[in-house]
Amino acid sequence: MCLIWVPLYIIQGLPRYPQVPVCHLHLHPLLPTHCVICAIPCVNYMTIIFYRVVSEHVAQPLDNKIIPNIDNFNLAKSLETLQEIRKEIPNIIRKEQQTQKLNYDKTHKTVSYLPGQKVLMKFQFQEANKSKKIAYRYRGPFKIIKKIFDVNYEIELILNGKSTTDVIHVQRIKPFTDRKKTY
């Protein structure tokens, strides 16, 4: 049988930080099924604390009335209605997902990059002692090594003179255009 260890000052009704020797604040084992104060079944240690503070028991899910006190209430009919609603829910969810996909696809452009292509990467952190307003949002160019998934690419990063690789989402990168070649 499991025991819940409760500080003794909660059981004795002492203040939170009593002026008593430390030896009196030892832990006291309790059975997890009964309240210390009134021996009514409790769920856990927090229930006991709640009872000490508020002086009433915490309402548990099983304390709710499942069947309402209505004279003409038909339990079988309400359960049938509930089953019908549960059968319709997957169709409603599927339909809503299709609507959300259509709305997303209206504005989304599929982007793909080739290995070896140069890209700029968006950095979301700011360097120390520099203004956020005038900081560069994109840094680079960096070279794409390979495509991991449709939306993730492995990129060769050169930061602080060290070369590393990292997997970056397409929302954080944009193609790099060399200014010398455009003129």
Going from the C-alpha of 21 to that of each of 5, 6, 24, 28, 57, the distances in angstroms are: 19, 17, 6, 16, 31
Report yes or no on 170 lying in a domain.
Answer: yes
pLDDT of 28: 41
Report yes or no on 149 lying in a domain.
Answer: yes
Give how many domains the chain has, as a whole number.
2
Supply the range of the domain harboring residue 95.
Answer: 79-108
Q: Scanning the structure block, which residue is given the tokens 């599927």?
A: 94
- Clarify whether residues 128 and 161 are in a common domain: yes
- Clarify whether residues 144 and 168 are in a common domain: yes
Condensed to tens digits (0 to 9), the pLDDT of residues 116-158 reads 999 999 987 777 777 878 888 888 899 999 999 989 999 999 8
Report yes or no on 136 lying in a domain.
Answer: yes
Helix (H) or strand (E) run with residue 110 in it: none
d(CA 123, CA 126): 8
pTM score above 0.75: no
Q: Scanning the structure block, which residue is given the tokens 């069947």?
A: 67
- Clarify whether residues 123 and 164 are in a common domain: yes
Q: What are the residue ranges in the chain where pLDDT is below 50?
A: 1-12, 14, 16-33, 36-37
Handedness of CA 90, 95, 96, 101 (dihedral sign): positive
Q: Scanning the structure block, which residue is given the tokens 């309790």?
A: 30
d(CA 83, CA 77): 10
Q: Among 108, 126, 150, where does a domain finish?
A: 108
Helix (H) or strand (E) run with residue 163 in it: strand 162-169
- Clarify whether residues 168 and 122 are in a common domain: yes
Report yes or no on 72 lying in a domain.
Answer: no
Report yes or no on 89 lying in a domain.
Answer: yes
- According to DSSP, the residues that pair with 175 across neighbouring strands are 119
Report yes or no on 104 lying in a domain.
Answer: yes
Report yes or no on 162 lying in a domain.
Answer: yes
